[in-house]
Amino acid sequence: MTVRTRCASAIALVLLACGPEGPVTAPTPITALPRALTSAEQDLIAIDNRFALSLLGQVTAGQAPAGNLFLSPLSVAMALAMTYNGAAGTTADAMRATLGLEGMTVPEANEAYRGLIALLRGLDPQVRFTLANSIWYRQEFAVLQPFLDATQAFYDARVAPLDFASPAAAQAINGWVSEQTAGRITEIVEPVLPAQAMMYLINAIYFKGDWTQQFDRARTAPRPFRLADGSTVSVPTMTHGREADVRVYRDGSVEVLDLPYGGRAFSMTIVMPAEPAGLDVLVRGLTLEGWDGWIAGLDSTASEIYLPKFVLSSDLLLNSTLGALGMGIAFDCDPPEMADFTRMHVPQEVCITRVKHKSFVDVNEEGTEAAAVTVVEVGVTSAPLPVVVDRPFVFAIREALSGTILFVGVMRNPAAP
């Protein structure tokens, strides 16, 4: 729904908006997945969500204290899962432990990812969601066919050999990335590909959804946002001008707000500590059990909402982050303890040279647009009380019915670039 003029009434859960040709009806709520999740899919979602919180914690640990952050842990996990299909020996063990896949075989993980990809695509017709994978390799690089077959069969990956010495190779890769992210991320590899690069395994995710109940653009106004150091900044803050149907959880230590998009299959979940200075402690203490407890505790209510509007992008090199999470051997190109990707390429002479991640998010009165790309470069030797979001917070965009976390971020200062 794109009409921005406010209306005064709602019938049941259906919001009416005044348009030039009369009332426009909000989308019918989506209350169930199109099919039941398999036990393996349920396990994988829990595994990926645990990885999401661990990745967020590790990345923020190396951040400047005042820095904002946005990333897609699902994109990182999926790009690494494709790469994991080519790992062997202790390298496979390390990647399996880092990704949290100890309880699943490689075929089981692949099958669960295939099911999750199919489930997320097209779930809500009111939300544009793209999830795409690709593999691009140097045409003289002998990639094992079973590895390529698995990525195509289970991850729906586009596979293409290229002349890496030609500028057209980088143009093809970046063109694919731009297409999958609606032009929000236009470059993930440099215009001249490095001589040591043999393969790029890429995941791209794009999300664009309107809020189920859009904010009133005319009511957006500067409001104070409290920073961790006790000071405040003035930031453009959105509100509906009335109570909105949302879900809220409070327990004295955190305040959690869940704002739905479209037919309510997707939502943004915001978690604020009780005090502005408490964000870093909150992030360090994030656990899947705690996260699931907050989600389970959300109660539907009608409340005034005040939310900063912001645009944020991140450009991350994740080598050291993933090494700290346990898969350092995958980046080791030097014998005798070098990485083992002999299920991808024989002889044993390649390693992961870079995992790069780019992301973008725009939160405004109409809704949210978000995009992320991860590239794994393989080379030789990526009236209840009003809820006022006025202090640092963690936020996630997730598919609410399965619980899958798509994007996650930290907002310390909406006024910062």
More confident residue, 349 or 128: 128
pLDDT at residue 238 greater than cutoff 50: yes
The whole-model pTM stands at 0.87
Res 233 pLDDT > 50: yes
Angle at the Cα of 102 from the Cα atoms of 100 and 106, rounded to 5 degrees? 100
Q: How far apart are CA 340 and CA 368, in angstroms?
A: 41
% of residues, the chain, pLDDT over 70:
91
Name, in order, each residue with C-beta under 8 angstroms of 11's C-beta and a sequence gap of 6 or more: none
- Is the pLDDT at 14 greater than 70, yes or no? no
Instruction: Judge whether 181 and 206 are in contact, CB under 8 Å.
Output: yes
pLDDT(13) > 50: no
Return d(Cα 414, Cα 232) in angstroms, integer: 11
Query: 25-39, 232-246, 323-337: which has the highest mean pLDDT?
Result: 232-246
* Integer Cα distance of 205 and 188 in angstroms: 13
For residue 160, list its beta bridge partners.
Answer: 136
Q: 3-state class of 45 per DSSP?
A: helix
pLDDT at 64: 67
Region 357-369: what's the mean pLDDT? 98
Given pLDDT bands bounded at 50, 70 and 90, which one contains residue 235?
very high
Q: How far apart are CA 393 and CA 48, in angstroms?
A: 21
| Cβ neighbours around 342 below 10 Å, total | 18
To which H or E segment does residue 119 belong? helix 106-120
pLDDT at position 385 is 62
pLDDT tens digits along 183-202: 999 999 999 999 999 999 99
Answer for the pair 130, 369: CB distance below 8 angstroms, yes or no: no
* Residue 90: Cβ within 10 Å count: 13
Poorest-pLDDT segment among 33-42, 54-63, 271-280, 295-304: 54-63
Architecture of domain 212-309+385-411: Roll (2.30)
C-alpha span between 176 and 186 (Å, rounded)? 9
What's the mean pLDDT when you consider all of the chain? 90
Instruction: Supply the CATH classification number for the domain 39-209+311-380.
Output: 3.30.497.10
Note if the bond before 336 is cis, omega within 30 degrees.
Answer: yes
Asked whether residue 27 carries a pLDDT value surpassing 90, the answer given is: no
pLDDT value, residue 334: 80
Q: What percent of the chain has pLDDT over 90?
A: 83
Domain locations along the chain: 39-209+311-380, 212-309+385-411
pLDDT grade, residue 18 (50/70/90)? very low
- Please state, in angstroms and rounded to a whole number, the distance separating the CA atoms of residues 105 and 84: 11
Average pLDDT over residues 81-88: 97
Nearest C-alpha neighbor of 232 from the set 385, 388, 366: 388
Tell me if 410 sits within 8 A of 60, measured CB to CB: yes
Say how far apart CA 356 and CA 384 lie, in whole Å.
43
Enter the DSSP assignment of 143.
B
Does pLDDT of 381 surpass 70?
Answer: no
Q: How confident is the model at residue 416 (pLDDT cuts 50, 70, 90)?
A: confident
Q: Band of the pLDDT at 25, cuts 50, 70, 90? A: low
Q: Which pLDDT belongs to residue 349?
A: 81
When pLDDT is cut at 50, 70 and 90, the band that residue 344 belongs to is very high
Q: What is the identity of the amino acid at 378?
A: V
Tell how strand 350-363 and strand 266-273 pair up.
unpaired
Burial of residue 60 (CB within 10 Å: 0-12, 13-18, 19+) is buried
Instruction: Give pLDDT tens digits for 37-67.
Output: 999 999 999 999 999 999 999 999 877 666 8
CA distance 287 to 74: 17
The answer, yes or no, to whether residue 411 has pLDDT greater than 80, is yes
What residue spans of 130-206 are helical by DSSP H? 145-155, 167-180
Q: How far is CA 335 from CA 53, 198, 331, 338, in A?
A: 33, 19, 12, 5
Categorize the per-residue pLDDT at 19 as very low, low, confident or very high, splitting at 50, 70 and 90.
Answer: very low
Query: Contact 340/363 with Cβ under 8 angstroms?
Result: no
Measured CA distances, 393 to 112, 246, 336, 384 (Å)? 31, 18, 45, 21
Reply yes or no on whether the pLDDT at 135 is more than 80. Answer: yes
Residue 5 pLDDT exceeds 70: no
Average pLDDT over residues 146-160: 97
